[in-house]
Amino acid sequence: MEPLVLTKGQLQTHWRLLEKCLRDWALPSPTDVTVAQTWVAGNASAALNSPHAEWVERHRGRRVGAVHLYGDSPAYWLSWREIWEPALSSRWRFRETGMTVFQGDAGVAGKAQLFRAEWAGLAQWARGAIGWQSPGAAHPHGQFDARAEAKSEEENAKLIKEIEEEIQRADDIPEDFSGAFDAESLANSSGAWTGMHFASASRWNELPWTGDMADVTPHASSPSCPAEIRRWIVAVICYIRNELQRNG
């Protein structure tokens, strides 16, 4: 298995074809959705763009634009990003592509992050060597954030209530509450299970796996051509929409 490497022209063509695929098959209101490309020295990336996109905050990541995926109240929103890293001879090596689904009303800043579908390829993940992200994990995979979101909100509300009760009991209001609220510890309080990678394209029925971390062939693969990436992205979005509708 080898990393997927493209020229800049081939990568630009891949993203133009992906935009057409999303408009033709995957998105409910596709006419104003585009694939926005960003080229910098460190990497080449692409993300969904639309005049009707809304900014949302990702766990363990930056603010992203999300487009409407399904439903009205609450609505479901989708963000997508793909990254390629520099390779030899002015080429670009596939690093990762992934989607995040959020739930929340239109125009409301706070949206709950529910789950992610991600595909990390063979790339320079550690110490400059070509290998897998999170060695031993499945690629592509799903990761689920809904419990972490609920847990964080629950802990936050509980802590605020405790602070309010303490203020009511105190003779003087303390000047500094900086030590009382640790956002990072709240985000991590739900446990490391949110980092689990749930295999979404394993071949365990053909290649049984008994826990050998040195051989992840039964559940880890890297795309061999850009068409595989496009097919996977479109299928994941269509499947998520169908499941939301079926369970709506």
Domain-wise residue ranges, the chain = 5-246
Digit-by-digit pLDDT tens for the chain (248 residues) are 899 999 999 999 999 999 999 999 999 876 799 999 999 988 999 999 999 999 998 887 689 999 999 999 889 999 999 999 999 999 999 999 999 999 999 998 889 999 999 999 999 998 778 999 988 999 999 999 876 555 555 555 554 455 455 555 555 544 443 444 444 444 444 455 678 899 999 999 999 999 999 899 999 999 999 999 999 999 999 999 999 999 87
Phi/psi-derived region of residue 128, left when phi > 0, alpha when psi is between -120 and 50, beta in every other case: left
**According to the model, what pLDDT value does residue 105 have?**
93
Strand 54-57 versus strand 92-104 pairing type: unpaired
Q: What's the pLDDT score for residue 42?
A: 83
Confidence at residue 178, expressed as pLDDT on a 0 to 100 scale: 42
Q: CA-to-CA distance for 136 and 125, rounded, in angstroms?
A: 13
Measured CA to CA, the distance from residue 151 to residue 187 in angstroms comes to 8
Alpha carbon of 132 to those of 125, 157, 159, 203, 232: distances in Å?
7, 38, 39, 18, 19
C-alpha dist (Å) from residue 71 to 25, 102, 105, 246:
17, 12, 9, 12
pLDDT of 41 reads 80
pLDDT of residue 29: 74
Whether the pTM exceeds 0.95: the reply is: no
Which pLDDT does position 164 carry in this prediction?
52
